[in-house]
């Protein structure tokens, strides 16, 4: 079997939305089309209002203050689904010598981190306005009262937009964390995860243009990888852009000599964009050649029941374990041999970085910034998205060749070390100094 097998892409159990339905010739209901048009109108008006608000904030906002000579106070907001995600981003930032403290406006519990202080919206405000609206209003109010040196938001909608507007209003520098890569912006954000504009379902160049205008007015854009930088430059965004992919704690994520229980692991939210149906189809193909293969899916989400039904329909319910949400993700990684990611879109995946730090070679979709870390045929494989047979072929290669698996494992750990926490702290030192 060759290192780069070529097969036809198989797309089964498609859950990707209107665009896929149109490409496959499936009829789209009039009601669904009308709903999409309504969301196009709403999205355009929201982006127009955002750009108007940015202009007004520039007119009436405070004069920009110079950064202090010693260390900056940074206020951030965002929604996060796990402590691992926020630890990877906030621990290195708060540990930087250029940061005096980080104020995190959140509706989720914020882990205890030195120099990080949580600000939560009042419960009554959440009940009245909803979690996102209450959080953003609290972000605005806290920024006006505390006047931080830098304000920032994770994801463009609507945290990054709010950070750019509020930065102008309170005289602070603004910082947008492009966690999801170009998918947050491209075609108006319809390819992103968990944002309102995916409901448009079809591309909107007007919304994309207005989003790019706001990104261009941010003082600093933080991306997870280089492809996002290339995307923004190609689109004419000239603001300062730098890559900071997060920092992984090497004392928590490390290789082990223990015998693994699972051949394959996938970690993440069980949502549409992760395309875990492709993963299950790949496991089915692997099981036809390695009948006793064991796979584990660590995570929870809206598609949990649907995916478990799919595993039964494929006849692989005895090969696949669904664990639900787990706090000790590192222990599950160390119980496994190979990490898999089948997403349609990614930045530079934190889950993949954690897996490689634990010494797991990876077989992942060739999307987003994953190629920044994955060297094809050395520490893993990059697979065309939605290619379950090709993915399965690469998994069989590694599972059937202990020598290759060990070599890929060692290479994966070496590659991930450049995202270790101390390296990222030094990166933040340089960024804040030159902000």
Instruction: Give the CATH number for residue 264.
Output: 3.40.50.2000
User: In terms of domains, do 271 and 372 share one?
Assistant: yes
pLDDT of residue 191: 82
Asked if residue 218 belongs to a domain, the reply is yes
Domain residues for the domain of 401 are 250-419
Token digits of residue 305: 């029941």
Asked if residue 14 belongs to a domain, the reply is no
User: In terms of domains, do 182 and 275 share one?
Assistant: no
Asked if residue 136 belongs to a domain, the reply is yes
pLDDT of residue 23: 43
Check if the beta carbon of residue 418 is closer than 8 Å to that of residue 379: no
pLDDT of residue 11: 35
User: In terms of domains, do 175 and 276 share one?
Assistant: no
> 80 by DSSP, 3-state: which?
coil
Q: What number of H helices and E strands is found in the chain?
A: 15, 13
User: In terms of domains, do 113 and 222 share one?
Assistant: yes
Total number of domains constituting the chain: 2
pLDDT of residue 24: 47
Asked if residue 12 belongs to a domain, the reply is no
pLDDT of residue 434: 82
User: In terms of domains, do 136 and 183 share one?
Assistant: yes
Token digits of residue 53: 């608000």
Residues 6+ apart with CB under 8 A from 268: 274, 276, 298, 299, 341, 343, 351
User: In terms of domains, do 367 and 327 share one?
Assistant: yes
pLDDT of residue 222: 96
How far is C-alpha 265 from the geometric centre of its chain's CA atoms? 18
User: In terms of domains, do 361 and 382 share one?
Assistant: yes
User: In terms of domains, do 188 and 58 share one?
Assistant: yes
> 340 by DSSP, 3-state: which?
strand
User: In terms of domains, do 196 and 117 share one?
Assistant: yes
pLDDT of residue 266: 97
Asked if residue 396 belongs to a domain, the reply is yes
Which among 208, 222, 215 has a CA at the least distance from the CA of 238? 215
Check if the beta carbon of residue 20 is closer than 8 Å to that of residue 9: no
Asked if residue 179 belongs to a domain, the reply is yes
pLDDT of residue 193: 67
Q: In whole angstroms, give the CA distance from residue 74 to residue 387.
A: 42
User: In terms of domains, do 198 and 109 share one?
Assistant: yes
User: In terms of domains, do 43 and 160 share one?
Assistant: yes
Q: Which residues of the chain have pLDDT under 50?
A: 1-24
Asked if residue 260 belongs to a domain, the reply is yes
Asked if residue 24 belongs to a domain, the reply is no
Q: In whole angstroms, give the CA distance from residue 31 to residue 24.
A: 19
User: In terms of domains, do 161 and 138 share one?
Assistant: yes
């Amino acid at each position: 079997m060759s290192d780069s097998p070529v097969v036809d892409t198989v797309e089964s159990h498609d859950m990707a939305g209107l665009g896929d339905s149109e490409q496959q010739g499936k009829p789209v209901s009039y009601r669904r089309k009308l709903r999409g048009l309504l969301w196009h109108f709403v999205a355009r008006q929201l982006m127009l209002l955002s750009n108007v608000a940015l202009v007004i904030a520039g007119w009436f906002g405070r004069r920009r203050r110079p950064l202090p000579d010693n260390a900056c106070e940074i206020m951030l907001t965002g929604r996060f689904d796990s402590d691992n995600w926020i630890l990877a981003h906030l621990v290195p930032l708060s540990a930087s010598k250029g940061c005096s403290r980080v104020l995190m406006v959140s509706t989720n519990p914020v882990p205890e981190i030195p120099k990080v202080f949580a600000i939560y919206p009042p419960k009554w405000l959440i009940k009245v306005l909803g979690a996102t609206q209450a959080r953003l209003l609290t972000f605005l109010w806290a920024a006006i009262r505390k006047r931080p040196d830098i304000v920032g938001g994770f994801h463009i909608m609507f945290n990054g937009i709010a950070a750019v507007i509020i930065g102008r209003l309170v005289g602070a520098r603004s910082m947008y964390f492009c966690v999801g890569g170009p998918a947050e912006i491209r075609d108006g954000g319809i390819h992103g995860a968990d944002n309102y504009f995916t409901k448009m379902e079809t591309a909107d160049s007007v919304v994309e243009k207005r989003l790019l205008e706001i990104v261009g007015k941010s003082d600093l854009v933080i991306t997870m990888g280089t492809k996002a930088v290339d995307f923004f430059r190609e689109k004419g965004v000239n603001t300062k852009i730098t890559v900071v992919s997060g920092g992984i704690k090497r004392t928590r994520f490390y290789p082990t000599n223990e015998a693994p229980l699972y051949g394959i692991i996938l970690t993440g939210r069980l949502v549409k964009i992760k395309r875990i149906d492709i993963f299950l189809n790949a496991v089915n193909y692997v099981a036809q050649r390695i009948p006793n293969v064991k796979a584990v899916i660590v995570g929870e989400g809206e598609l949990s029941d649907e995916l478990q039904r799919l595993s039964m329909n494929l006849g692989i319910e005895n090969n696949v374990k669904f664990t639900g949400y787990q706090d000790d993700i590192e222990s599950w990684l160390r119980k496994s041999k190979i990490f898999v990611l089948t997403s349609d879109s990614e930045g530079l995946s934190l889950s993949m970085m954690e897996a490689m730090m634990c010494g797991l070679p990876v077989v992942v979709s060739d999307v987003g910034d994953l190629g920044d870390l994955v060297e094809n045929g050395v520490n893993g494989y990059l697979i065309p998205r939605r290619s379950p047979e090709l993915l399965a072929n690469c998994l069989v290669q590694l599972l059937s060749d202990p020598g290759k698996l060990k070599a890929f494992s060692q290479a994966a750990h070496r590659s991930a070390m450049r995202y270790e926490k101390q390296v990222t702290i030094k990166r933040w030192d340089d960024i804040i100094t030159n902000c």
